[in-house]
Amino acid sequence: MATKTLQHILQHIFLICVTLSPLCFSCNEDCFTSFTPTTATPSPNVSIKDQIISLANDQETVDWMKRIRRKIHQYPELAYEEVDTSQLIRHELDLLGVPYHWPVATTGVVAKIGSGSPPFAALRADMDALPIQELVEWEHKSNVDGKMHACAHDAHVAMLLGAAKILQKLQCALQGTVILIFQPAEERGEGAKHMIEESVLEKVEAIFGLHLVHEYPAGVVATRAKEFLAGCGSFKATISGKGGHAAIPHLAIDPILAASTAIISLQNIVSRETDPLDSQVVSVSIIHGGTAINVIPDSVTIAGTFRAFSTKRFNALRDRIEEVIKAQVAVHRCSAAVEFSGKDHPTIPPTVNDEKVFEHVVRVSREIVGEENTKVAPMFMGSEDFAFYLDKVPGTFLFLGIRNEKIGAIHPPHSSYFTIDEDVFPIGAAIHAAFAHSFLSNYTSSV
C-alpha cells in the first residue's frame, strides 16, 4: 500500500513538472526520461501484439477516442489556428503522463514515450480543418459556420492519442523512443515542412502515418511500396500583349489568342510527350482576361495544377510547363511571366514509401486486421504533405477504409457530407502502436 501511495504522489509531481517545465529538442539533456510513470508490466504469457489489440479495443478507450474526435469535430480550426485542438491534445497527454514539447510550427505538439534513447520511431497525425460548410445533420455537427473537419484530421488526432495511451501503458516494453507528431496545416501543404524545420525528425529512424479514406470498406487497410501518392504543384502565368479595339485587332497584340494556344499545347505534354504507362496530370483550371466584348485586353492570366509520381518526372514536368507557355505565347508576339506554387498552394513532393518500412507496416497490419483486409493500393493522384517527412527519413503512409453505406460514410474527403465510421478507431490506434513497438524491437535486434 505504501508503494502504491508513493507512486501516486510521484505521478502528480511528474504532471506538475511537465506542465511547468519547457521541453527542448535541441538540448543535450534527456528531458523526457527524468521520471517514468507507473505502467502496466507486459504479461509474459500474452504477446505484445495481443495486448495492443486488447488495449485498443477496451470499451473505455474506444469511447474516449470517440469523445475526443467529436469535440474536435464540433470546433474545427483551420491551418495554424488549431489553438483549442492543440490545448485538448496537451490536456489529454498531461492526463496520460506523456511529456511533450509545444508550440512547434505555431500550434503543433510533439510528445515522446519510451526510454528517451535511440532508436526513435515517429507517428504523425494532422490537426487542421477545411473552409467547408458541414451539411451532415448529427449530434456533433460543426458549431463553426464555414468550417468543417471534412478530411478526417479530427479522427487522426483521436487515433494517435489512442496509440499514445496504449504505448504509455506498455512503455517498459519499448526498446527505444516513440515520437508523437501532432501537426498543423496539412491542408495548406506546408505544416510538415515547418515541423521538420523545427527538428522534429532529429534522430528518427522511421515514420508512419495513415489517412482515413472512403474508397475502402471500414476496417480495410491499403498501401503500396515505393510511389504511392502524386507530387502536386501549381502554376500561374501572366501573358502580356498589347490592348486595343477588338474591331481592329491588327493594331493590338492579342494575349487571349496566345493564352488559348498555350493551353492547348500544355495538354500535349501528357498526351504526346509522356509514356502512357506513366501517369501525369497537367490541368489548366483558371483563365482571367478581358472586361468588355469589344476590347482586346493587355494581359491574360492562366493557372492550374500539375502532378507526377516521382521527383524526377515531377521536376521535368514543371520545367516543360514553363517552356511550353513561354514558347507558345512568343509565337503570338506576347511575353509570359510564369510562377510556380504560392502561399495557398505550395509544391508538395510525391509520397514515396520506403520498401523496408512498407513491408514492416504490411506485416503489422495483417496481424491487426487479417490478410484478407490488407490490400495493395493503386497509385493515387491525390497529394499529402506527409511526403515531406518521407523525403527526410524512411517511412510509409497507409490508407484505412471507413466506407459504411449503413451510416452514410460514402462521401469523399472535402465533401460537405463527409462522414466516417468511428468503429475503425481501435484499428488505427492499434496499427500505430504496433508499428512503433515492433519497429523499435526489430531495429534494436538488428543492430
* CB hemisphere CA count around 165 (13 angstroms): 27
CA–CA separation, 392 vs 388, rounded Å?
Answer: 7
CA–CA separation, 418 vs 127, rounded Å?
Answer: 16
Q: Which residues are part of a known binding site?
A: 151, 153, 187, 211, 414
Q: Which residues are part of a known binding site for Mn(2+)?
A: 151, 153, 187, 211, 414
For residue 363 the three cell numbers come to 506485416
3-state secondary structure string across the chain: CHHHHHHHHHHHHHHHHHHHCCCCCCCCCCCCCCCCCCCCCCCCCCCHHHHHHHHHHCHHHHHHHHHHHHHHHHCCCCCCCCHHHHHHHHHHHHHHCCCEEEEECCCEEEEEEECCCCCEEEEEEECCCECCCCCCCCCCCCCCCCCECCCCHHHHHHHHHHHHHHHHHCHHHCCCEEEEEEECCCCCCCHHHHHHHCCCCCCEEEEEEEEEEEEEECCCEEECCEEEECEEEEEEEEEECECEECCCHHHCECHHHHHHHHHHHHHHHHHHHCCCCCCEEEEEEEEEECCCCCEECCEEEEEEEEEECCHHHHHHHHHHHHHHHHHHHHHCCCEEEEEECCCCCCCECCEEECHHHHHHHHHHHHHHHCHHHEEECCCECCCCCCHHHHCCCCEEEEEEEEEEHHHCECCCCCCCCCCCCHHHHHHHHHHHHHHHHHHHHHHHHHC
b/e 82-105 (16+ beta carbons within 10 angstroms → b): beebbebbbebbbebbbbbbbebb
Backbone angles phi, psi at 316, to 5 degrees: -65, -40
CA–CA separation, 102 vs 81, rounded Å?
Answer: 14
CA–CA separation, 131 vs 414, rounded Å?
Answer: 9
91 within 8 A of 39, measured Cβ to Cβ: no
